[in-house]
Amino acid sequence: MGNFDMLRAAFVCSFLAVSPPVAAASGEVSSDRSKAEAAMQDFNHAMLSILRRGQTELTAKTRPVMIIARNVTVVSENGEKSYPRDGPGYNELKSVSHVLLGIIGAVTPWPDDDAAMTRMTKDFTTIRSEIDSFLAVIDGLDLPKDTLAKQRDMLTMAGAFIDKALKDENLTRAEVTQAINDMRPLWAANMRDAARTELDSLHRAVSAARKDLDADAWARTYVVTHGGPNVRAVNVVQLYLQRVMPDKVAAGQVLFAVDTHGKDKMIDYAGYTRMQRIVGAWAFGDPKRMEVDLLGYEAGAILDEMIPALPPAEATLD
């Protein structure tokens, strides 16, 4: 055996001799990390479970809660009571006005090929058919004669536009805009009448509910309403509550639950909000701190360092 072969054999033997301990050490590190990660997950789960337990108990103690949804419902320590807020004609006025949404949906996205044109034609045909079916029985709606006449006029105008659009192979955006503007006085009147109807029924229900609560219960009451994120700032219910109970709004007792539906979930939202305020107060001395991303302030400072500035436009220097 030559010197090279002897060296190679010695190297192989030495490698085989030391390899098992290295592998074992690597396995031990991997095992230790797995144990640590499992313990970390158990720890995190336990902490959050305790937090949720506290939130659940806090929610149960958050009484009374006034839920403003289809009806106004007050949930108190003694049970619950609902106050109807059905306004005559509200659903009818809102539903007829939705012909506008149908037209906008039919031309969105704006058709730019044969497939899109076919889709738009199908949608327009459906709208025309629905208008005909509705007009045939619309007199059965329980609406004043002048209001009913406006609904019939709006649908008739929409139908005339649809008929023209179905015959026009080169429909323009300007023609759609003109049709919407022609109907504007009618659907604007519907919005105004619907808002009046909703406010009247809402005020009647809230006033009755509030009358049934004594001063102490009212002071403790959280008011929860709901809706989509796009109407969070300005909507009928929020504007009404800001006007009739500004003290509760200022005290943070009027809550808007985004995309939350059902009495129980809206009550849960009140408990969740209160828990978040308690966390903010304990941890930061600021009940509103949790309304900001927990890492938000730190992230802003880091981004100042991380992202280089671009040369400002001259307009921003004036």
* 6 is a domain residue: yes
166 close to 124: Cβ distance less than 8 angstroms = yes
Mark whether 78 and 99 lie in a shared domain: no
- Domain end, chosen from 143, 164, 197, is at 197
* 105 is a domain residue: yes
Mark whether 246 and 297 lie in a shared domain: yes
Share of the chain above pLDDT 70, in %: 89
Residue 80's CATH number? 3.30.420
How high is the pLDDT of residue 27? Answer: 63
Mark whether 78 and 219 lie in a shared domain: yes
* 3 is a domain residue: yes
How high is the pLDDT of residue 25? Answer: 57
Mark whether 28 and 73 lie in a shared domain: no
Listed in sequence order, the residues at least 6 apart from 175 whose beta carbon sits closer than 8 Å to its beta carbon are 161, 164, 165, 168
pLDDT one-digit tens code per residue, 118-138? 999 999 999 999 999 999 999
Say yes or no to pLDDT of 9 above 50.
no
* 273 is a domain residue: yes
Mark whether 265 and 298 lie in a shared domain: yes
197 close to 89: Cβ distance less than 8 angstroms = yes
How many domains does the chain contain in total? 3
* 161 is a domain residue: yes
How high is the pLDDT of residue 28? Answer: 67
How high is the pLDDT of residue 88? Answer: 81
| Strand ordering across the sheet containing 65-68 | 79-83, 72-76, 65-68, 222-227, 254-258
Mark whether 255 and 176 lie in a shared domain: no
* 308 is a domain residue: no
How high is the pLDDT of residue 312? Answer: 82
Give mean pLDDT, residues 224-243.
89
How high is the pLDDT of residue 317? Answer: 63
* 107 is a domain residue: yes
Mark whether 225 and 156 lie in a shared domain: no
Q: Distance between CA 103 and CA 175 in Å, rounded?
A: 12
How high is the pLDDT of residue 14? Answer: 44
Name the average pLDDT for the chain. Answer: 90
How high is the pLDDT of residue 182? Answer: 96
Mark whether 81 and 210 lie in a shared domain: yes
* 96 is a domain residue: yes
Q: Distance between CA 95 and CA 134 in Å, rounded?
A: 11
| DSSP designation for 140 | G
pTM, full prediction: 0.81
How high is the pLDDT of residue 78? Answer: 92
Q: Distance between CA 244 and CA 203 in Å, rounded?
A: 9
Say yes or no to pLDDT of 2 above 60.
no
Mark whether 77 and 224 lie in a shared domain: yes
- Domain end, chosen from 128, 162, 197, is at 197
Domain containing residue 182: 90-197
- Kindly indicate the confidence band of residue 6, based on its pLDDT and cuts at 50, 70 and 90: very low
- Domain end, chosen from 163, 197, 231, is at 197
Mark whether 295 and 283 lie in a shared domain: yes
Mark whether 159 and 294 lie in a shared domain: no
How high is the pLDDT of residue 275? Answer: 97
Mark whether 119 and 254 lie in a shared domain: no
pLDDT one-digit tens code per residue, 61-80? 999 999 999 999 999 999 99
